[in-house]
Amino acid sequence: MTSTFFGLETGLRGLQAQQAGLDVANHNIANANTPGYSRQNVNLRESLPYTDQAFNRPLSAQQIGTGVTVASIQRARDLLLDGGYRTELSSQRSLEQTQTTLQDVESALAPTSGGIATQLDGFYQAWSNLANDPTDLSARTAVIQQASALAASFNRAASQLTTIRTGLDDQVASDVTQINNFATQIASLNLDVMKAEQAGANANDLRDQRDLLVDKLSELVGVTTVEQPNGSIDVLLGGRAIVQGTTTDPLAAVAAAPGAVRQVLFASDSAPATIASGALSGVIDARDTRVPGYQANLDSIANGLITSVNALHSTGFGQDGVSNRAFFVGSDASTIAVAPVIASDPTKLAAANAAGQAGNNGTALAIAQLGSGQGTGSPASFAALVTQLGLDAQRSEGAAENQAALVQFMGQKKQSVEGVSLDAEAVDMVRYQRAYEAAARVITAMDEMLQTLINQTGLAGR
């Protein structure tokens, strides 16, 4: 036999369980827009039944249900999806970084107006004009002005590329600081999760926060995580843990020598860190491979221009009859300049290929002809560089876009599992509210029953 008040206890448990369901729905709705939040489910389970010996069947027993209990509150999360999402996110951030860098290089080498291409045309045009009248001082001055403008546009492009590279190197330092920051926060959340779960609860919200940090960390650098039985996670970078339990092994961005680019090392033992993907890997790739590649190409064109023009100019003669003067000084895009001796005196410009002939335009003609050639330093060679850059940028843009679409797709899949659906919460609210009302009604019924029992029975003996 159950006790007289047995039903009140069952009703109370019903009220508590439905209220827990409503509380979780409330929590879900409150966090519908919280980044990293995964929706929570309340798992209800029948509480332990009461075994009642039956009067008429002494050898068997009846079990009477005792109501409901909240078994657990779980977050909806697909860990496999999380890992895949992070891998794609890391690689997308890396591609995006490459694309951004190439766009910067494009604006340095092929600005929408002006730039080296325009100045190269103007330079050879000025020589051709001089060939029309080598005695014309204004044509000589024009050659020097055009050459100075050309040299300046090479200098500007070279310094823009250097600035891009320096900016990328600074980015490495700030990314490393950010990575260490995330690692520290993850280690501290590890401790919180371990403490909370020791008591047997699911640290849903703490885990959400920790997963969000791992997502953010994955944007910067590709990492893998391993969950330990105690609820903490180890974060591995190329096989070496940067977070293990509650401790971190921080990274450092160190320049080997003044002026050298920063290398990413483990601060504890200076071992190089493996940066395979993530924004940081894009930054390092751009800084160490992409940008230096274009710098080398630009320098080679500037050098070809200097060499080819000087080779002809030094065999030519100025109006003063002197030969063997260089037209350009310098050796690359950052150092190219018109030789000061020529810049300060246009009559020393060698238009003639023989002394004492005022009308001789042999050298000017030969230099102007370089402009229609294909040699390094010609407009054609620069157009080829811009085409190559465009192809690289286009390819990286396409790859970044495809990867972004993949990340968007995986994000949607994650959202599908983790996200809060307001419709579902509305249904749950109604469900739990109605059950709560019904449980309350049962208690009222019990109350009335006891009222009957206590106040209305046994009146005969009064």
Partner 1 sequence: MRITSNMIVDSVLHNLNGNLDQLRILQDQITSGKRMAAPADDPIAFGRALTLTSALSTSGQHLTTTDRSLDWLNATDAALSSTTSALQRARELAVAGANDTMSTSDRAAMAVEVDRLIQEAVSLGNSKSGGQRLFAGLKTDADPFTLNAGPPTTVTFNGDNGVMLRDVADNATVTINTPGPATFNPAFTSLIQLRDALTSGQAANVQAAISSIDAAVTSVAQTQTAVGTQANWIQTLRSQQQSQQVSLTDQLSKTQDTDLTAAISALTLRQTVYQAGLAAASRSIPQSLFDYLK
Residue 147 touches partner 1, criterion: CB under 8 A: no
Q: What is the DSSP letter of 352?
A: B
Q: What is the DSSP letter of 317?
A: B
> Of residues 135, 177, 188, 202, which one binds partner 1 by CB under 8 A?
135
> Of residues 63, 270, 408, 444, which one binds partner 1 by CB under 8 A?
408
* Residue whose entry in the numeric block shows the structure tokens 């504890």: 268
C-beta of 30: minimal distance to partner 1 in Å?
14
> Of residues 412, 444, 451, 452, which one binds partner 1 by CB under 8 A?
412
C-beta of 61: minimal distance to partner 1 in Å?
43
The total number of residues shown for the chain amounts to: 462
Q: How far apart are CA 49 and CA 308, in angstroms?
A: 97
Q: How far apart are CA 261 and CA 243, in angstroms?
A: 26
Q: How far apart are CA 89 and CA 112, in angstroms?
A: 32
What's the token pair of residue 141?
Answer: 């001055």
* Residue whose entry in the numeric block shows the structure tokens 């109605």: 434
Residue 264 · residue 270 · CB < 8 Å = no
DSSP string of 191-252, one letter each residue? HHHHHHHHTT---HHHHHHHHHHHHHHHHHS--EEEE-TTS-EEEEETTEEEEETTEE--EE
Give 241 or 380: the residue with its C-beta nearer to partner 1.
380
Q: Which stretch binds partner 1 (CB under 8 A): 130-138, 140-148, 257-265, 297-305?
A: 130-138
**Cα angle, residue 411 at apex, residues 208 and 221 outer, rounded to 5°:** 70
C-beta of 415: minimal distance to partner 1 in Å?
5
User: What is the footprint of partner 1 within residues 336-395 (CB under 8 A)?
Assistant: 352, 354, 356-362, 365, 368-369, 371-372, 379-380, 382-384, 386-391, 393-394
What's the token pair of residue 147?
Answer: 């050459």
Residue 52 touches partner 1, criterion: CB under 8 A: no
C-beta of 436: minimal distance to partner 1 in Å?
16
Give 2 or 394: the residue with its C-beta nearer to partner 1.
394
Residue 221 touches partner 1, criterion: CB under 8 A: no
Q: How far apart are CA 148 and CA 359, in angstroms?
A: 25
Q: How far apart are CA 264 and CA 434, in angstroms?
A: 59
User: What is the footprint of partner 1 within residues 426-445 (CB under 8 A)?
Assistant: 426-427, 430
Q: Which stretch binds partner 1 (CB under 8 A): 105-113, 152-160, 223-231, 241-249?
A: 105-113
> Of residues 128, 190, 209, 225, which one binds partner 1 by CB under 8 A?
128
Residue 110 touches partner 1, criterion: CB under 8 A: yes
Give 170 or 397: the residue with its C-beta nearer to partner 1.
397
> Of residues 54, 191, 201, 417, which one binds partner 1 by CB under 8 A?
417
Burial class of residue 47 in the structure, from the number of CB atoms within 10 Å of its CB (0-12 exposed, 13-18 middle, 19+ buried): middle
What's the token pair of residue 309?
Answer: 């023009």
> Of residues 246, 267, 419, 443, which one binds partner 1 by CB under 8 A?
419
Residue 133 · residue 358 · CB < 8 Å = no
Residue 136 touches partner 1, criterion: CB under 8 A: yes
Residue 271 touches partner 1, criterion: CB under 8 A: no
Residue (of 87, 28, 136, 54) closest to 419 by Cα position: 28
C-beta of 299: minimal distance to partner 1 in Å?
19
Residue (of 268, 380, 290, 355) closest to 108 by Cα position: 290
Give 170 or 215: the residue with its C-beta nearer to partner 1.
215
Q: Which stretch binds partner 1 (CB under 8 A): 223-231, 253-261, 333-341, 411-419?
A: 411-419
Question: What phi, psi does 359 have (nearest 5°)?
Answer: -90, 5
- Number of amino acids touching partner 1 (CB under 8 A): 65
C-beta of 426: minimal distance to partner 1 in Å?
4
Q: How far apart are CA 283 and CA 262, in angstroms?
A: 12
Interacting residue ranges for partner 1, rule: CB under 8 A: 32-33, 102-103, 106-107, 110, 112, 117-118, 120-122, 124-125, 128-129, 131-133, 135-136, 352, 354, 356-362, 365, 368-369, 371-372, 379-380, 382-384, 386-391, 393-394, 397, 408, 411-413, 415-417, 419-423, 426-427, 430
